[in-house]
Amino acid sequence: MIMIVVRIIIWSIVVPFLLGQLVYMLGRDSEEVSAVSKKLAYGFMLMCVIFFVLAVPMITLRMHFHVLMYSWVLITVVLCVLSVIYGVRNAKVKQDETSAEQEEKKVKAGEDVFTVVVWTAAVLMIAFQTYLLTFNMHVDTDDARFVAEAVEAVDYDTMLIRHAITNEYIGRVAGEQTKEVTAPYPLFIALMSKLYGIHPAICAHTVFPALLIPLCYVVFGIIGAHVFEGDMLKRGLFLLFLSVIHLFSFETIYASGYTLLTIIWQGRSILAMIMLPLLWYFLMRVSDSERVRREDYVYILMAAVACAMLSNMGAVLAGVMTAVYAVVNGVRLRSFKTCVFMGLCMVPDVVCVLITRLLRLYFERM
């Protein structure tokens, strides 16, 4: 049990943080108050991107699951090592800030008791919501496909060539499983369950909620830091009110609260509550600046690819959002170059939509 907890901490906290440090260094900005949050969110995004780039061609070529797993682990470990080297070399940068400025910030933070109270309430509310789904069971009908596909990968070392309901060997992708060729999130569940050393169903229903619900609020905290320009009180109030709204938004299965607190382990829920908000943050940050930096294009591209990995609908929504912001910012900055470059960031999403449609047409005619 202890080893399982250690593995979860390594692969779900340490590794995302190290990967996020590499992504974070691309665009050092003034929002240092959310630096740790950004590294965790960016790291999860990069994990999804790496998995997507490897999984799609390997599924198409009908390769074994262990090839995908070892390839992903190898690339991830190499990037983590590079991140550690980068962190050691740049450790002295943080010491440039004078001790007087640091003490001033500490005193100011300590004097604002109301801010501490608000943040404490927000953290407790988020912890309570995490507890609800982590220690209570919610069974969704989509388990019949998503978890079953993860179990196939773990038990048979194959990817999407068995019927998700009957376990019959088909030998090719068929039916609803064609969606997972370009949105291989169920196999990501299998990957993490193998790394954790637990069953895919336990990974999805117990471990993922404990990790993804806090990560959702981490992303919204990043958005709050940007919108409220680093004001800790407003940011805390934003998270507190948001957590209360989520706790009482079960009037429909399409409400964000239902998505977050019952099925957060599903790809479309991670898309809605984590990755699309993160993409929105990148697009919003571009819209609030006088110019679009190179790293902004990289961020948008990575977020768009991560959205496609989680769900086919993610490819559509990320593509539409990116296209709209590309036109708006192109007109706002009077820059055709900006419009074209931001538009290119949606190319992976368009390709995913086309491939999924072509696969479905192909298998329907067989």
Whether the pTM exceeds 0.75: the reply is yes
What lies within 8 Å, CB to CB, of 83 at 6+ separation is: 18, 19, 21, 22
Band of residue 149 on the pLDDT scale cut at 50, 70, 90: very high
Checking if the pLDDT of 96 tops 70, the result is no
The rounded distance, in Å, linking the Cα atoms of 89 and 199 is: 39
Average pLDDT over residues 334-355: 88
pLDDT given at position 209: 94
Q: What is the pLDDT of residues 236-272, one digit of tens each?
A: 999 999 999 999 888 777 888 889 988 899 999 999 9
Checking if the pLDDT of 108 tops 70, the result is no
- Is 162 in a helix, a strand, or coil? strand
- Is 28 in a helix, a strand, or coil? coil
Checking if the pLDDT of 93 tops 70, the result is no
Continuous H helices in 13-64? 15-24, 35-60
* Segment holding 341, helix H or strand E: helix 336-344
Band of residue 1 on the pLDDT scale cut at 50, 70, 90: confident
Average pLDDT over residues 276-298: 90
Burial class, 171, CB count within 10 angstroms (exposed 0-12 / middle 13-18 / buried 19+): exposed
Structural contact between residues 48 and 188, judged by C-beta atoms closer than 8 angstroms? yes
Which range among 89-103, 136-150, 259-273 shows the weakest confidence by mean pLDDT? Answer: 89-103
- The amino acid sitting at 189 is I
The rounded distance, in Å, linking the Cα atoms of 160 and 238 is: 42
pLDDT given at position 284: 92
Checking if the pLDDT of 186 tops 90, the result is yes
Checking if the pLDDT of 100 tops 50, the result is no
Share of the chain above pLDDT 70, in %: 91
Q: What is the pLDDT of residues 36-87, one digit of tens each?
A: 899 999 999 999 999 999 999 999 888 999 999 999 999 999 999 999 988 7
Band of residue 26 on the pLDDT scale cut at 50, 70, 90: confident
Mean pLDDT of all residues belonging to the chain: 87
pLDDT given at position 215: 96
Give bridge partners of residue 162 from the DSSP assignment. 169
Q: Where are the domains of the chain?
A: 2-88+109-291
